[in-house]
Amino acid sequence: MENVLCKLQQCKKLKQKADGLSAWQLDQKVKLADEAINLSISAMEEMALTIIKLQEKLGEQA
């Protein structure tokens, strides 16, 4: 889960960078947004896998 938190923090930093850019730097904003989306999808996948593993473990204990 530390990796998930790290990816989410990276997303926040990318958003801050994008917010600091001007409207004239739209291409850079799009690049940063794409990078943040990829990171957030990866974080969600990791969270989903962790939840599935936890569910399996709980199912074994029941």
Domain that holds residue 31: 2-61
What residues have CB less than 8 Å from 61, skipping those under 6 apart?
A: none
Q: Pull the structure tokens for residue 14.
A: 């990318």
Evaluate if residue 1 carries a pLDDT over 90. Answer: no
pLDDT digits (tens, 9 = 90+) for 4-61: 999 999 999 999 999 999 989 999 999 999 999 999 999 999 999 999 999 999 988 7
Phi, psi of 57 (to 5 degrees): -65, -40
Pairwise CA distance, residues 10 & 56, whole Å: 30
pLDDT of the residue at 21: 92
Q: CB neighbours of 47 closer than 8 A, spacing ≥ 6?
A: 1, 4
| Amino acid 62: pLDDT | 60
* Total domain count, the chain: 1
Distance CA 29, CA 42 (A): 20
Supply the pTM of this predicted model: 0.79
